[in-house]
Structure 1
Amino acid sequence: MTFRWFALVLSSAVVSAMAGSVAAATLPTIAPMNAPLSSQLRLPPQALNLAQSRSSNLSDADQEALDELLSEGQEKVDAEDYAAAIALYQAATRIDPQNARLFSGIGYLYVQQGEYTAAVEPYRQAIVLEPDNLPFRYGLAYTYVQLEAYAEAIAAYEEITTLAPSEADAYLGLGNIFITLEDYDAALETYEALTRRAPGNAKAYEALGTLYLIQEDYAAAQSAFQRAVRTDSNRSEPYVGLAETQLAMGDSRAAFESLEAAVRLNRNDAQANFLLGEISMELGDEEAAYAYYRRAAEADPDLIAAQAAVGAFHLREGVYLQAIRAYRQVLQAFPDNPGAHYNLGLALWAEGLEQQAVSSVGRARRLYESEDDIDSVERVDDLLELWGVNVEDNLL
């Protein structure tokens, strides 16, 4: 994972600087939006095909029954019917209770459904059966992080480092937790331990750079990211971290060059493209900014700041269907963002979807009211008056 999500600073140029006419009949301002990026640990890759999960201790009849359950379970997994798959795998554990992969698979499927509490016990059972299996332990650690049970997650990662002292991902996971807890001394100690254990691991220096960047020690951050680039010049991520540091130091030109190096290595690096869009906006090159924002959004549809920027461009330029698509993507991640509802309403109205537009703008109004944002409530009322919509009859 990229730990710099903690430190990514979004320029106000993303959306709030973009205002103007939206359609000939309506001249409202595009609503500013704050779309912070969240940081999440990723669940380590884990194969779920359990069809080959066999036990030499089973009778032929039991093995046949187990195979049938596993085959049906895999069909449910392929159909993303995880609840049904879990029920089938649980039945399989009653036939083969010593099969660690079955319990791990159940834990994994609970995680896919966001049922993290339910995932803990299956992972624990899997670890009891196969204590040296690191993917099982990573799954448990990830689950604890999602539950914000950080003490348990720390213990889980530390057990991995005890079993495998050079396991870099465990150190990175530990450091990430310490950063979340704002225990920067512990994070520093963890990352420095990783650099000693794995001096050729560029991610260790990236992690150090991120930590220094958070602490606003830009000289140290720059040095760490430069070390990461020297260690591994074939990945885009170290260049992006270096660029973020250079931006923080006010050196946009150097940052632009670092980001260009990143996209030469990986044209679809969403974060690099997004930051190139930010710098291009600051330079007044809106055409280039749009191209970078759009590439970022296409590379990572969940990069909400890029979606918001693309939506604002489409809205301003009158490409309303694309604006609708972008803002709906934003609202999937931030359903209570009033600016997204407002801007979606503008695009819907321009496409002739008036009822949906009023509903969306009305949602924005209620959210603005809940935030005591009187100026924005008045802006919504002015828009509705322009549309000929009576606020009292339609929204109150």
Structure 2
Amino acid sequence: MTPLWAAGILVSGLSAGPSIAAMGTLQGDFTVNFRTGPIAPQLLPLGSRVPQVANLSDAQQEELDELLRQAQDRVSARDYAGAIALYQRAIRIDPNNARLYSGIGYLYVRQGQYQEAIEPYRQAIARDTNNIPFRYALAHAYVQLENYNQAIATYRAITEIQPNQADAYLGLGGVYITLENYDEALKAYEQLGRLLPNNPQVYGAMGSLYLIQKDYRAARDYFQRAIAIDRNRSELYVGLADAQLALNERDGAFRSLQEAVRINASDAEAQFLLAELYRERGNEDQAYRHYRLAVQADPTLLAAQAAVGAMHLAREEFVQAVLSYRRLTAALPNNAGAHYNLGLALWGQGLRNQAVDAVLRSRRLYEREGELAGVDRVDALLELWNVNLDDVGVAP
């Protein structure tokens, strides 16, 4: 006989989404996310002296150094507003010192105040026009603000000053991908390929671009070229597996994902996709293991949470199932299926009232979405649980 809790295990509307490789994040010589560009530069280390620009007296230099020491203390205490105020006082002593302006810009970035960071970085660049890190920081702020035209202009300015700046081409490619201007993204990566021939990061970037464009054969070829040069990057194997799955080369994808998790067991995307293939092959134990590893590596990977939650339910591991579905309902408060499954898990744990509340919330969401089949499913479950619909305020 089917246990009461097992009526209708489902979560609707969840999928893995684009893989990590498809999003274009590469690690290694270039620590760059195609969608964000290079990270902002760090502040000067505690106690370091900012290069003097003005002809300061000994007393002024001593005061400047003390202000910067205090600013670093404020940063350590996460008092960023206090640190900015100290940097502004330092600027009054040495108004043409570009590093002081960049310090203020960085502090705004630390707080996520990207608009406020723009002007300090512009002032820093005006005083030190050939400083490449300042321009990367400015581009980063523009990307965060989704001011992509200014980000493109900033990256291009970097390549004009120093044509060998690989990160700038990666940044350009990332912005163009965001804008879905794949031709320009390809041009940026081709320029990078000429700059760094036979570089696995470049081939990986090309593979990711072709994945997004759904040119899976080209993507597969570029990922294979990257792996032939460097066999120790899990994200390259995940990208290759994505392309192989799209080409229905499932055995090849399985081997690629096995290699990815061997290299990096914390690669959540690889663990999830490998679990999917194990499940497809009928190996439920290995699927369960890799779903759990995916969730451990990244609790925000919702498709993995949904899959492992369903398997917890099937195995009557109700405490773990409740944890999985609480994470899902927190992330997807309007997903009727997630609330339905949470109710199943709570019922299995013996928490009757909470279970009924969860499935009633699911029912309201199904009603709002016009999904009558979902409403009927909830009503049937409540009847199975011997819950009187009138008692819970549901009109028959």
Q: TM-score range by the shorter chain?
A: 0.7 to 0.9
Partner of 1:73: 75
Task: Say if 2:307 is the partner of 1:309.
Answer: yes
Match of residue 37, structure 1, among 4, 9, 17: 17
Partner of 1:51: 46
Pair 1:359–1:209, CA change in 2 (3 A): same
3-state DSSP of counterpart to 1:96 = helix
Partner of 1:96: 90
Q: Which amino acid aligns with 1:291?
A: R
Counterpart Cα distance in 2 of 1:355 and 1:129: 66
Partner of 2:317: 319
Point out where structure 2 has 5 or more consecutive residues left out of the alignment: 24-32, 92-96
Counterpart Cα distance in 1 of 2:322 and 2:121: 41
For 1:5-55, what per-residue CA distance to the aligned partner results, in whole angstroms no more than 9, with x for missing partners?
xxxxxxxxxxxxxxx96x545623333341453757356275457633644
Counterpart Cα distance in 1 of 2:339 and 2:43: 39
Shift, 1:71, TM fit: 0.8
Shift, 1:133, TM fit: 4.3
Counterpart Cα distance in 1 of 2:216 and 2:274: 20
Q: Which amino acid aligns with 2:109?
A: Y
Pair 1:364–1:118, CA change in 2 (3 A): farther
CA contact (8 A) 2:261 2:270 kept: yes
Q: Which amino acid aligns with 2:110?
A: L
With a CA cutoff of 8 Å and minimum separation of 6, indicate the structure with the bigger relative contact order.
Answer: 2
Q: Which amino acid aligns with 1:104?
A: G
For the pair shown, the structure with the greater C-alpha radius of gyration is 2
CA contact (8 A) 1:107 1:120 kept: no
Counterpart Cα distance in 1 of 2:352 and 2:147: 46
Counterpart Cα distance in 2 of 1:349 and 1:386: 12
Partner of 2:142: 144
Which moves more between the two structures, 25-34 or 235-244?
25-34
Task: Say if 2:349 is the partner of 1:351.
Answer: yes
Which moves more between the two structures, 56-65 or 184-193?
56-65
Counterpart Cα distance in 2 of 1:329 and 1:49: 39
Counterpart Cα distance in 2 of 1:258 and 1:26: 35
Partner of 1:109: 110
Match of residue 201, structure 2, among 187, 200, 203: 203
Q: Which amino acid aligns with 2:345?
A: A
Identical aligned pairs, as a percentage?
45
Counterpart Cα distance in 2 of 1:187 and 1:342: 43
Q: Which amino acid aligns with 1:44?
A: I
Counterpart Cα distance in 1 of 2:181 and 2:140: 19
Shift, 1:255, TM fit: 1.2
| TM-score when normalising by structure 1 | 0.80
Partner of 2:29: none
Pair 1:315–1:197, CA change in 2 (3 A): same
Pair 1:378–1:240, CA change in 2 (3 A): same
Counterpart Cα distance in 2 of 1:353 and 1:378: 22
Partner of 2:81: 87
Match of residue 168, structure 2, among 164, 167, 170: 170
Over the aligned positions, Cα root-mean-square deviation in angstroms equals 3.0
Counterpart Cα distance in 2 of 1:233 and 1:61: 53
3-state DSSP of counterpart to 1:309 = helix
Partner of 2:8: 28
Pair 1:283–1:394, CA change in 2 (3 A): same
CA contact (8 A) 1:107 1:123 kept: no
Which moves more between the two structures, 199-208 or 145-154?
145-154
Partner of 1:382: 380
Counterpart Cα distance in 2 of 1:25 and 1:263: 34
CA contact (8 A) 1:66 1:95 kept: no
Task: Say if 2:66 is the partner of 1:64.
Answer: yes
Pair 1:371–1:101, CA change in 2 (3 A): same
3-state DSSP of counterpart to 2:39 = coil
Shift, 1:119, TM fit: 4.1
Shift, 1:205, TM fit: 0.9
3-state DSSP of counterpart to 2:72 = helix
Partner of 1:79: none
Pair 1:26–1:270, CA change in 2 (3 A): closer
Pair 1:225–1:363, CA change in 2 (3 A): same
Pair 1:116–1:74, CA change in 2 (3 A): same
Counterpart Cα distance in 2 of 1:225 and 1:322: 37
